[in-house]
Structures are given as structure tokens and as C-alpha cells.
Structure 1
């Protein structure tokens, strides 16, 4: 029986964007930023013009789990087919050698890898030369995903092109046999990474407008602009947060499907989108007022600190979450040019402190083990403590609401004082219900988003608004205006 020896030619795979639906350089950068932020930034600046050294430094600083990284399933199918045929499957990458070796071991590929060292960046012509030296001219099939791989495809027996149609057509025009493979990425999902569904939380900017009964068109439009600025600022931080949490998200039953964790969206594209969102947010804020710009920058700085470090610190993380929500109310007052009472802020902070506890209660309740949650300072044993702090937050919020009702501002805005006291009933019901649902694990991981979709909760909040408008005499004024 004759054996076709060409089947024994090795299958050589690029890593970034080919075998993996991610990029090891960016993976190590963001892992390093979370684990050793100052050292990572310093190394990035010092070695920006020396890719080989940069990759080696970041690989040492950012400890990553290569076994969790998303692979291209179509490429994996080709790997298994090649292995079944008795062919060697070799990784050849411009990424750091230590990472590539670990990746090959994770997936049962050849122990022989070709990759960058601290002194040599194995990309383009350098990689082509190394492969020809190892396997001979036309002695291998090569899978790559970008124009830089054309220098290698020209020396390969066959070109396996992953997601780069332009390069595939050029190689075909040059007479090279081409196999096309889908990239497995969906760059359009970048919108999902910006989390537009979270923008609804920025309706909190309208709280000062409602409290001051200022419903002028100019005030509303300015507040809408402020809401747009805060939404884009939040999106830029969501991108940073997701990139810092890649490993934790991949260990999470639901979050592993997020655009960056799953590899659906390239990290570089996400970084560009996050930067653009942040810049537009700052420009809008600057147009509104210097004070509003200051609040936006404070929000972004505090959010960044939360993503980098504070969210891993017990109790401090919950206080920061409450502060971030309270800043939205302050921002609404500055955007619309309306006065916000100190008592309103003192009421809002403990209320959001409660919701921060609810967020963590939901997470620990749904946890499968008693171990601390990935990237968090809590585990299931902290459930009772979180409940106690949540209850204290409810009590503090209700007391501050009652105290506010006796202030001169409240007496001038709400002449029918007892209706303001009556508001305590639906407010208490709403807060206690949120705590109960979190304790039972029956809530979305973001209580604010849940609240804005929860029909019963929305009904309770509408009752509060109706009572406040009645206490202020607004219904009578509006109806009188309509009848008149």
C-alpha cells in the first residue's frame, strides 16, 4: 500500500487571532495592569519600541491562565483532524515563548514551538525564515490571520487563512492553495461591550430635577446631555473593567460569554472603543461646565480605582459603589443647574449602600462553594454580614428621609408634610424587597438595572412620585393649567 507522505507535513499555527480568539500581548498587558499596575505601565513605556523585550516583560508581570483563553473552534477541528492523520501540530507565534509553550501543553500540541524571546521578535519574515529552516521550503501548512503572515504563506505548501479575505485573495492570485477559516469573532458585538443597557442607570441625573420641581425645557435638555456624557464615561470604564476581569469572567458561568472574555471582540478594538467613549464624554462635560467636568473626571477616576483595586477590598467596594451612584445625582444637579439638598444626598448614599450589599448578596448566594468569589473579597460565609449592613443602610436612608421632611426646603417644596411621611411606606417596601430578593439570589447581578425593569418595584416608585407631587401641590397646578 502506498502512503502519501505529504499528509505527514506538519500543520503550523499562528496563535494570536488564529488559534486563539484573543491576543497574548494584550492579555498579559491587562493582567499585569490588574496585578502590578505601575510596573506594567513602566515596562510598556520603556519598551514600546522593542516588541520582543516588551512581550517578555509583560509575560513576567501579568500572570495569565492560557488554558482559559478562547480558541477558534474551526481551527481546533483542523488540529484534531491533523493529529488523527499523524501530523505534528506546531505553534509558531510572535508572542512570548514561555506563554506559547504553556498553550501548546494545555491543548496537547507539539512540544516544539517557535516563538519570540526577549531578544528576537518572531514575526513576518523572521518567522518565515525560522519555519523554512525547521521544515524546508513548502514543507509545512501554515494558518495565519493577517497581512504580516503573507511572508510565511509564500513559503508554505498551503495557506490556511483565518478571517482575512483580502490576504486569501492575494495568495490565490499568487497561485498558492488557500483554505479559508472563519475567525470566530464578531467585532459588531463591541456595542454589547459598551453595555448600553447600563445607561439606564444614569436616569439618576434627573433626581435633582424632580426634587426641585424644575421641569423647564432647558433644564431637561441640559440634563439629557449630562446623561449622555455620564453614559459614555461609564462605557469607557466598563471596557476597562471587562479587560481587567478577563480571567475572572472566564471562570464565571454567565460572564464568560462577554465579548472580550469569549474572544468575540478583539481586545485592541475594545481599547479603541473605550478610549473614544471616554474622550467624547469629557468633551460633552467640558461644554456643559467646568464643575460638571470635574464630577465626570472624579467619577471616571474613582471607577478606574474601583476596577483596578477597590472592588477586591471588603466593604470599601460597597462604599465606592454607593459613592459612584451618589455622584450621578450631584452631576444631574450641575448639568441642569438646579439645587440639590444635602439631606437628599445623605438619603441616597445609604440607600445605594444597601443596593451595593444586595449586589454582593446576589453573587454570594448564587456561589456554588464557600470560596471567595474570583476578583472579589466575599464568599458565601459573608452572607449574614452583608444582610446586616444592608438592613443598616435601609434604616439610615429612612431616618434621613424623615429628617429631610422637617427642613425649611422640604416645608417650602412640600406644604402637605404628612404625605412626605407617607412616602416612607412604599420606600421601605421597595428597599426591603430588594434586600430580600438579593438574599434569595433572585435578582440580576446589577440591582439598579433590575430595579428599572422590575414592574412591581417601578410601581412602588411611581407611588412615591405621585405622593411627592401631591404633597407639593403639583397635580392641582398642572390640572388647573390644563383646565384653564
Structure 2
């Protein structure tokens, strides 16, 4: 048997002990359990937090409320390679974690490690307690240890060689004490956190401009207020996206594309996501308060409904689509609240079935791209539901077109659009656009978010611009603008 080589080329046959959270794993199992529990059993999870001062018991109860699939937890590839090399060379490899033993044991077994140490509901195996357990098992200086934070210093001081993941200060301190240190990068990138916030989704907040367009109010102060409102909604949306990703970790890891999201893949730690969520929420509500109580109420409603969607509603058939349509519609109401422009009742009645159609398109796309007939992870639909979704999307499309046609006969429609027949012509590109969206969703040729796809789809954008041009012409705006210019 060949003995392994550790830092500095020194030969060692000592056991290699790995910390789990933040070292072997690119996540934290306590926080994983907490968020998984909030997503599935929020009441039991919140009750478990009555033991927040007794960390060992808290970890035990959360592990019972929301047991994790340890085979899905993201692993640090460098630490995993180090462990695999040690195993191949005949060394004993163990996991020693402050997480509950009911999780650490299966994790160690899944990766072929020899032994597991963890908290047991009474003792929180962290810092000095972990050091005592390892010395009792292997003797003073009888093991090499891999950790990632200052709390691991108590273990490094009683072990032999040290592997330090992403903690330069601890690595420097150990070297100054004469210890051999292998330093691994670890850490995370701000760019990955920004990606988790999904800034590309902010384009959906263009919906806040619709009331201004419908009212033909293009004054600069009005547009500036809408722009500020869009910033608030962007912060609110990113806040909820982060919460949604934290609640959906297991479902995302089972998804062919979502498994690469920053939290699901472990590229960004859960703690960083929680801090960013708090900051974004404060920004959204702060701007909302500055724009007035009406806009603040709309932002708060949007965030509350989005949170309810993340926690429960997205798993309920049809209710999830109605909720998605409501969230899109709330953006339009927010545009009216920010600018002070009255939101037309007909406009709201028209756009809601449009968004029902787009909600169905979102689910159609997901089901078409699914690899089996099973229900989508975290959703209430399977591939056999595609025809029902198609039927509802067509009903939404037909309903929206009928409402638009009826609007042309309303008092407001006659006042704003003298040439009503041009509004009827505008029905053609609207119908074409909606049919195109449904068709592309049916064949799985869309992005997972139809609004984002629509704003990037050149043909679709062309149809929407044709529609707007026809509506402006029917309102006499083109004639008015050309008269001003020429």
C-alpha cells in the first residue's frame, strides 16, 4: 500500500477528517433543513425554532421535520478529490460535523467514508466539543483535519496537518504556529449572487408602463415616477426570487436546468442569500414608502402574494396559474399607483386573461421539456395535463380578444380612440402574438418564463410594436406627434 502525500510532500497515514458544512459540502445542512421545512411544513419548522438557544436539539428537530436527500447536496470538488485520493491510498476518511448525526451518517455512507461524527440532540459537535470527540477517537495529533472557519481552530490545534478551505486568516495563523497547511480556494463570487437575483427578469417590470401608455400620458415626470417604481419592483422581485430558490433547493437540484442555480449548486452560500434577501426587501419597501402609501401597499401585496406562491400556491393546480396572472397584473396596478395615472378597468380585465394564457404557456413549456410523465418537482402538473393547459390557454386568448373588441365600444374607448376600426385591425397582430406564444410553448420552444421570452423574441416584439403603432394611430397620436415635429 502506498502512503498518501500531504502538504509539503510529507508522507502521512493518519485518518483524514472532513468538516461537512462549508468544507466537504458547499452548503449548510442546518440551513438546508430550515428552508426545506419552511417550504413543506412551515408550522412544525417554526415551532422547532423555540429551541434556537439549544443548537443540538434545534438541529435534531429540524432534521426530523425536513430530512434531506444527502445524495443531492452539492460537494466541493477539490475537497471531494482530496478525500477520494485518500481513500484510494488506503487512508481512513471520516466526516465530522456540527450538523445532526442523522444527516452526517447517511452523507458519509453515500460517499464511501469510514466514519461519521455529528451532533446528537444533546451535544452540539462544534469547536471544542468536536475536538474532544476526535481526540477520543484518534488520539492527540492523530488525525488530519479539513475545515473552513475560525471555529475549526480548536480542532486544528489538536490535530496534525491542516486543510483550510477559503479561510486565509486561519491558514496564516496555523502556518505561523508551525503547522503544515494545505489551502484550498473555497469561497464564492458576487457575480453568482447577482445571477441568483435574476436581473434578466427585471425586464418584466416594463409592465408598469402599460397604464401610462393606455392613458397616453408621456410626460417626463410621469415616466420618471414609473422608472422609480420599476426599481422598487426589481428589488422586490429579486428578494422573492432568492426566497423561492432557498425554498426550492431540492426541487431545483432535480431539475435539468435549475440544478445549476447558485444556491442549488452551492456556488453561493445560503447565508449570503439570506442577507441579500433582507437588503432587497428593505430597498423595495423603502422606495415604496417614498412613492406613497398606495404604491407601498401594492409592493407589499406583491411580495406577500409572491411569498405565498413560493410557500404553497405554486404546488396547487390552476391556482398557481391564477396567482401568476395576478402577479403580472399587480405590476400594471403598480405602474398606475407610482405615476398617479388611473388604471383602466377594461385594461385590467383585458390583461388578466392574457396573463392566464401566458401562465399556461409557462407550464406547457416545462411539461414539454420534462423527461418523464411524473409530476414536475414542486408543481401540481405532469405531462398528461398538457391538453388541459392548452385548452385553458386558448380560452384565455379568446377571452382577451373579446374583451379588447368590447373595449372599443366603451365610453372610454370611443373617447381615446376616434378611429375605432383601426383598433379592430390591431386585433390581428394581438391574436397572432398570443397564438405564437401558445404554439411555441406547446412545442417547448420557449424559455421557462414567457414574459422574458416575449421581450427577447424578435418576431413577437415586432407584432407587439405593430399593435402599439395601430393603437397610437387610432388615438390620433401619430398625427399629433408628426405635427409637432414637422
Query: What is the TM-score normalised by the length of structure 1?
Result: 0.98
Secondary structure of 1:161's match? strand
Alignment match, 1:459: 462
Instruction: State the SS of the aligned residue for 1:233.
Output: helix
Q: Confirm whether residue 218 of structure 1 aligns to residue 221 of structure 2.
A: yes
* Structure 1 residues 184 and 279: alpha-carbon distance in aligned structure 2, compared to 1, 3 A threshold: closer
1:471 is aligned to: 474
Figure out how many residues of one structure are paired with residues of the other and give that number: 481
**2:456 counterpart SS class:** coil
The Cα shift of 1:156 comes to 1.3
Equivalent of 1:11, from 6, 16, 20? 16
1:82 aligns with 2:72: no
Asked if structure 1 preserves the Cα contact closer than 8 Å seen for 2:37 and 2:62, the reply is yes
* Residue 404 (str. 1) matches residue 425 (str. 2): no
Once the two structures are TM-superposed, the CA of residue 42 in structure 1 deviates from its matched residue by 2.2
Tell me how far apart the structure 2 counterparts of residues 121 and 370 of structure 1 sit (CA, whole Å): 43
Once the two structures are TM-superposed, the CA of residue 186 in structure 1 deviates from its matched residue by 3.0
| Aligned residue number for residue 155 of structure 1 | 158
Aligned runs of 1:14-413 on 2, under 5 Å? Answer: 14-44=19-49, 46-110=50-114, 112-183=115-186, 185-413=188-416
Please tell me the root mean square deviation across aligned C-alpha atoms, in Å.
1.4
CA contact (8 A) 1:7 1:85 kept: no
Aligned to 2:12, the other structure's residue is in SS state: helix
Q: Is residue 72–residue 253 contact of structure 2 (8 Å, CA) maintained in 1?
A: yes
For the Cα contact (< 8 Å) 2:2–2:89, is it kept in 1?
no
Instruction: Return the offset for 1:7.
Output: 3.2
**After superposition, what is the alpha-carbon deviation per residue over 1:397-445, rounded to whole angstroms, capped at 9, x for unaligned?**
0011011111111111111111111110000000000000000000000
> How far apart are the structure 2 equivalents of 1:457 and 1:3?
64
- Measured in 1, the distance between the counterparts of 2:179 and 2:63 equals 35
Runs of 5+ unmatched residues, structure 1? none
Q: How far has the Cα of 1:175 moved from its partner?
A: 0.7
Gapped regions of structure 2 (runs ≥ 5): 5-9
Compute the displacement of 1:184 (Å).
Answer: 6.1
Deviation for aligned residue 1:182: 2.1
Return structure 1 stretches of 4+ with deviation > 2 angstroms.
1-8, 184-188
Report whether the alignment pairs 1:450 with 2:453.
yes
CA contact (8 A) 1:420 1:467 kept: yes
For residues 64-94 of structure 1, what are the alpha-carbon distances to aligned partners after superposition, in whole Å with 9 as ceiling and x for unaligned? 1110011011111111111112111000111
Q: Give the conservation status (yes or no) of the 8 Å contact 1:444–1:450.
A: yes
* Structure 2 length-normalised TM: 0.97
- Deviation of residue 187 (structure 1)? 4.3
Contact 2:3/2:13 (<8 A) preserved: no
CA distance in 2, matches of 1:406, 1:340: 18
| Pair 1:441 & 2:450 matched | no
Q: Say whether the 8 Å CA contact 2:3–2:89 is kept in structure 1.
A: no
Provide the rounded CA distance (Å) in 2 between the counterparts of 1:99 and 1:405: 63
